[in-house]
């Protein structure tokens, strides 16, 4: 924790990304120095951590500038028409972009008439409909070529309509894996998580909430998949049956050795822009230590050659996770954003 530190660009970090400092300056510097004309001394009283990454957003449903000002320096958009979101992602490559770095998968691959087609929140083009294994594989290759993210998303929402057939789902996974890419899935409805596991899906875009998963299934998931949390979309500050099911699934997944990444599904209801302390609390209640929660939330390390993405908080989240909501300063690639 920094009692009073002089920040010029990203500093060296301990395991948790806490930048050691004193009144005379940061003890050691790393990252990419900012240009001399932008150089400045910034006095902060608080706790510094690497920039936060939200691994599940729909950035078009939020204001990018507010997301960055709230402490999130990188996001992964998991479903939007490519003609709209991919140019925005390209623009975000510039450090002067008023928003976080954006990685976008483009559309979700789905079957004819499957989710998210017909959903009120999703504009036309959010779902890429396919029919047959060959068409599914081609769609995976096309989305990877267009997005450059190394991630394909598939929709397996049986509660909203039809879903991809097993051979189509396997074809997407095989095509992605042939390119060393990963497949993330929206799995909703009885049996959809099992189908994702069997086909070779690498990640669940949401903590499973539509059914209580067996311990055996969770142990298998823990060996081959990561889960993106998105727990508060079932809560918004309330206790709900869906939240309890999802939290219990995550707790047992973690106990089995699984990995959980921080994601909020920003754009889905009243999820706050920027760092979401409520999501962090849900992760903590699921069995993650505070250190593990911070690891799940942070982006790239503060280390030589890495972007200088730094967030200064008004308090120490190691003592109280609500401090994550008190963002005092954000640096993106060593540049002050506010």
Q: What pTM does this model have?
A: 0.89
Question: pLDDT value at position 310?
Answer: 83
Question: pLDDT value at position 333?
Answer: 78
Question: pLDDT value at position 316?
Answer: 86
Q: Which of 39, 32, 37 is CA-nearest to residue 7?
A: 39
For the beta carbon of residue 1, count every other beta carbon within 10 angstroms: 17
For the chain, the distance separating the N- and C-terminal CA atoms, rounded to the nearest angstrom, is 21
Cα–Cα distance for residue pair 130/115, rounded to 1 Å: 12
Q: Please provide residue 321's backbone torsions phi and psi, each rounded to the nearest 5 degrees.
A: -65, -20
Q: Which two tokens stand for residue 152?
A: 């394909």
Question: pLDDT value at position 42?
Answer: 53
Question: pLDDT value at position 24?
Answer: 41
Q: Which of 62, 74, 71 is CA-nearest to residue 100?
A: 74
Distance of CA 333 to the CA centre of its chain: 19
Cα–Cα distance for residue pair 130/195, rounded to 1 Å: 18
Do the beta carbons of residue 303 and residue 256 sit within 8 Å?
no
User: Which residues touch 291 (CB under 8 Å, ≥6 apart)?
Assistant: 16, 318
Q: Largest Cα–Cα distance in the chain? A: 64
Q: Which of 47, 57, 46, 53 is CA-nearest to residue 88?
A: 57
- For 144-169, give one letter per residue: b (16+ CB within 10 A) or e: beebebebbbbbbbbebbebbbeebb
* Axis crossing angle, helix 166-178 with helix 133-147, rounded to the nearest 10: 40
Distance of CA 245 to the CA centre of its chain: 21
Do the beta carbons of residue 73 and residue 309 sit within 8 Å?
yes
- List, in order of start, the domains of the chain with CATH numbers: 1-51+300-338 (2.30.40), 52-299 (3.20.20.140)
pLDDT string in tens for the chain (338-residue length)? 233 344 433 333 322 333 444 444 343 333 444 444 434 445 555 677 888 999 999 999 999 999 999 999 999 999 999 999 999 999 999 878 999 999 999 999 999 999 999 899 999 999 999 999 999 999 999 999 999 999 999 999 999 999 999 999 999 999 999 999 999 999 999 999 999 999 999 999 999 999 999 999 999 999 999 999 999 999 988 999 999 999 999 999 999 999 999 999 999 999 999 999 999 999 999 999 999 999 999 977 666 566 678 888 888 898 899 999 999 888 887 777 76
- Helix intervals (H) in the chain: 64-69, 82-91, 133-147, 166-178, 192-199, 215-224, 241-255, 277-285, 290-297
3-state secondary structure (DSSP) of residue 65: helix
Cα–Cα distance for residue pair 75/48, rounded to 1 Å: 19
Question: pLDDT value at position 145?
Answer: 97
Q: Which two tokens stand for residue 96?
A: 């002067």
């Amino acid at each position: 924790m920094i009692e009073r530190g002089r920040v010029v660009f990203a500093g060296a970090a301990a395991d948790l990304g806490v930048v050691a400092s004193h009144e005379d300056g940061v003890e050691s510097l790393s990252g990419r120095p900012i240009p001399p004309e932008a150089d400045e001394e910034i006095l902060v009283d608080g706790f510094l951590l690497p920039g936060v990454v939200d691994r599940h957003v729909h950035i078009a449903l939020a204001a990018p500038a507010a997301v960055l000002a709230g402490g999130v320096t990188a996001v992964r958009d998991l479903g939007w028409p490519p003609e709209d979101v991919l140019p925005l992602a390209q623009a975000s490559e510039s450090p002067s972009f008023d928003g976080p770095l954006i990685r976008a998968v483009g559309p979700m691959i789905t079957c004819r008439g499957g989710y998210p087609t017909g959903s009120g929140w999703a504009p036309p083009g959010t779902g890429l409909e396919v029919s047959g294994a060959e068409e599914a594989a081609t769609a995976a290759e096309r989305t990877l070529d267009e997005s450059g993210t190394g991630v394909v998303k598939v929709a397996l929402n049986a509660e909203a309509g039809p879903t991809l057939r097993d051979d189509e789902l396997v074809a997407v996974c095989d095509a992605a894996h042939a390119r060393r890419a990963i497949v993330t899935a929206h799995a909703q409805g009885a049996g959809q998580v099992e189908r994702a596991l069997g086909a070779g899906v690498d990640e669940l875009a949401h903590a499973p909430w539509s059914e209580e998963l067996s311990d055996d299934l969770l142990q298998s998931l823990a060996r081959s998949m990561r889960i993106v949390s998105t727990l508060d979309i079932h809560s918004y500050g309330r206790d709900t049956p869906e939240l309890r099911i999802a939290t219990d699934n995550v707790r047992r997944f973690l106990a089995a050795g699984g990995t959980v990444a921080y994601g909020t599904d920003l754009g889905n209801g009243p999820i706050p822009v920027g760092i979401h302390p409520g999501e962090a609390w849900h992760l903590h209640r699921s069995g993650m230590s505070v250190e593990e929660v911070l690891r799940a939330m942070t982006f790239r390390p503060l280390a030589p050659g890495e972007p200088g993405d730094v967030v200064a908080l008004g308090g120490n989240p190691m003592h109280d996770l609500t401090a994550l909501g008190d963002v005092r300063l954000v640096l993106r690639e060593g540049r002050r954003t506010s």
